[in-house]
Chains A and B, each alone.
Chain A
């Protein structure tokens, strides 16, 4: 594998500060749930920020990582099933409660006709999505890929988490991050280069997966805040946005929790090609 993969853009939307979307996107999202709107908002920002390059639709890959994903929409569907009865439940809510509904919208709005994958896990699904995006470009299955993480708040699980942690649960922030990865052309010097993504999961007490207690992060500019489902993705995106504050070099970020270990390595040296 000698294709160099660069991170062309990394954007995020956190909490209530969702910027308004262009009208043309808003109409296409009329039925979309909050999860989808968050993801599209982040993806739109990242797509706008990335260099405008001619990438055929079939060469655009899409990789989404979720912890609880459309769980709120799933509960809204359950509301409609229980309150309105069988035979009168909402098909729109059901179809949006499927985990890859977000990918369906993103693919449509950004015309991504290459491989599309949604992965769901309790640890760091964004990093798994990022790794698969990297892999798709490295093996020539895509020339550009979007890697997305998105979560909403979830009062049901927040309450359960608070009880399990035997303390007031920290309310979760709705959040989405979107990174654009590009294959560097022959002789092209892009940075930062994505050098390595690794996630390894291990058995742990299920509670730790929900309360996210014991999750630590280390590496330059990486904050320890936002200990919640999309927290690591947010922290990494923030850190990536601040790499200009440190000297160019190979930067490594490590995540550790009872349930997993992960590492992300980027190379911010100008004009360098990362070898994996």
Chain B
């Protein structure tokens, strides 16, 4: 799970262009959208594509995404659970 979180943070920083942040500065529980990192609706749909590309996990629509995108924690749990399902 820790590895997933690290990869997620790296991906968010690189691919969402948050050049002034380092992974250790991203709090696992901090909100990703609005407050916290301050990502917006365009980042949200970009994140859907990134999750699919880097983790092979598909997010069908933004309803599903909303839950998962609360924080790094929730996103990591979501990705982990989906990948486990795919294996089984």
Contacts and interface: CB of A to CB of B under 8 A. Distances in A.
Consider the complex of A and B and state whether they touch directly, i.e. have CB atoms less than 8 Å apart.
yes
Interface of A: 27, 30-31, 84, 87-92, 95
Nearest to A96: B42
A31 B20 contact: no
B33 to A, nearest CB: 15
Contacts of A92: 42-43, 46
4 tightest A-B contacts by CB? Answer: A30-B17, A91-B45, A92-B46, A31-B17
Contact of B52 (A27, A88, A95): A88
Contacts of B46: 90-92
Given A91-B46, A92-B46, A95-B42, A30 B19 contact: yes
Contacts, number: 25
B49 A90 contact: yes
Contacts of B42: 31, 91-92, 95
- Interface of chain B: mostly helix, strand, loop or mixed: helix
25 contacts: A27-B20, A30-B16, A30-B17, A30-B18, A30-B19, A31-B16, A31-B17, A31-B42, A84-B49, A84-B53, A87-B52, A88-B49, A88-B52, A88-B53, A89-B49, A90-B46, A90-B49, A91-B42, A91-B45, A91-B46, A91-B49, A92-B42, A92-B43, A92-B46, A95-B42
A91 B17 CA distance: 14
Interface string B24-53: 000000000000000000110110010011
Contacts of B20: 27
- Interface of chain A: mostly helix, strand, loop or mixed: loop
Nearest to B44: A91
Interface string B41-83: 0110110010011000000000000000000000000000000
Contacts of A27: 20
A40 to B, nearest CB: 15
The listed residue with most B CB atoms (<10 A of its CB), out of A30, A90, A91, is A91
B38 to A, nearest CB: 9
A129 to B, nearest CB: 26
